[in-house]
Amino acid sequence: MTRKVLMCGNEACGEGAIMAGCRFYAGYPITPQNELTSYLAKRMNETGGVFIQAESELAAINMVFGAAAAGFRAMTSSSSPGISLKQEGISYLVGCELPCVIVNMQRGGPGLGNIAPSQADYFQAVKGGGHGDYKMIVLAPASAHDLLEYTFLAFDLADKYRNPTFILGDGLLGQMMEPVNLNLSIKSHHYDKPWALTGCKGRKPNIIRSLLLGDNVLENHNKKLQEKYRVMKDMEVRSESFHARDSEIILVAFGSMARIAKLSMELARKRGLKVGLVRPITLWPFPDKAIQEAVEKTKKFLVVEMNAGQMVEDVRLAVNGRAEVDFYGRMGGGIPSEIEILNKIEALV
């Protein structure tokens, strides 16, 4: 059954959080994610949740830290410059193994940049923008409906692994209005949180900490975290492929760029060109296998991004020299059109 409503991506993201049982949100105004903040101000009030407009991004992520430590599903969101400010908090959340969801509706950078859509925060999200060795599952939606569904899923993934989950969107996805199906095919699960701070009635006190002094204690903690990331890598890879087994050129793109690249693929195929597409949905863990399966059948990859070439490095690692990997991208809010990509494809054939 479908129950379709028209909403922008930012609102869909907020509704996904509400549907997942998120009852704590703290954020700070920044374009292009303000619709999400406004939407949750309204919806948290309606659902008996907590909405706080924080004094800064730093405060917002640390309020989320507190709510997560207390065992509640909590979320914060921002856009690129604000996400830079949240990096300290993200590192602490990971170190303390606290589940929460963090959303980045990316805009052009570096610096204050502009408010146009961008994918230039790929490295920051995927490689770890905060200090220390850590990983988060990074989901890359490509539509308003994806924002609803992936945000809903993100809370389960966060609780399952006791780790923040990151949604890497962009200003285009956040602000574009599309029909969204509110009936999801996936279910939300309950995870016990015996580690949460509730007051120590009837049990020994719980301590949430990332400060681990003493010989090898922090090293062992890191080994435990790395083991967790290894399990995530085995279990949580998500991607979709189109014509990946019968194409001479495989496009690789994520998020909004994947939608545009899909149009380019369709245009190219109409012109008789054998073009396919791999769309990573989890940017970490990266879908190496989807790329490697495509390597068997193709000679060339064309990675398309709204940045100077970031995910292309992960594609090259997966391809490992077995095929040619080309790149086309635009920066600072520039969005490659389907025709630009088609021209690039034709030049490569």
What residue ranges bind another protein (CB under 8 A)? Answer: 23-24, 26, 50, 52, 54-56, 58-60, 62-72, 74, 88-89, 92, 96, 197-202, 205-211, 213
Query: Chain-centre distance of CA 308, in angstroms?
Result: 19
Q: Which two tokens stand for residue 50?
A: 């907590």
Helix 57-69 vs helix 80-95: angle between axes, to the nearest 10 degrees?
A: 30
For residue 198, the minimal CB distance to another protein (Å) is 7
For residue 17, the minimal CB distance to another protein (Å) is 15
The residue among 82 and 287 lying less far from another protein, judged by its C-beta, is 82
C-alpha distances (whole Å) from 51 to each of 5, 86, 122 are 24, 18, 28
For residue 67, the minimal CB distance to another protein (Å) is 4
Phi, psi of 64 (to 5 degrees): -65, -40
Which of helix, strand or coil describes residue 302? strand
The residue among 1 and 213 lying less far from another protein, judged by its C-beta, is 213
The residue among 198 and 337 lying less far from another protein, judged by its C-beta, is 198
What is the rounded distance in angstroms from the CA atom of residue 203 to the CA atom of residue 183? 40
For residue 61, the minimal CB distance to another protein (Å) is 8
Which of helix, strand or coil describes residue 78? strand
For residue 96, the minimal CB distance to another protein (Å) is 7
2, burial (CB in 10 Å: exposed 0-12, middle 13-18, buried 19+): exposed
For residue 209, the minimal CB distance to another protein (Å) is 5
The residue among 118 and 163 lying less far from another protein, judged by its C-beta, is 163
Q: Which two tokens stand for residue 332?
A: 């600072």
Which of helix, strand or coil describes residue 95? helix
For residue 58, the minimal CB distance to another protein (Å) is 6
What is the rounded distance in angstroms from the CA atom of residue 307 to the CA atom of residue 333? 9
What is the rounded distance in angstroms from the CA atom of residue 43 to the CA atom of residue 37? 10
For residue 174, the minimal CB distance to another protein (Å) is 24
What is the rounded distance in angstroms from the CA atom of residue 18 to the CA atom of residue 70? 18
H or E, element range at 9: helix 9-19
The residue among 176 and 208 lying less far from another protein, judged by its C-beta, is 208
How crowded is residue 217: how many other Cβ atoms within 10 Å of its Cβ? 11
The residue among 102 and 341 lying less far from another protein, judged by its C-beta, is 102
The residue among 9 and 95 lying less far from another protein, judged by its C-beta, is 95
The residue among 69 and 325 lying less far from another protein, judged by its C-beta, is 69
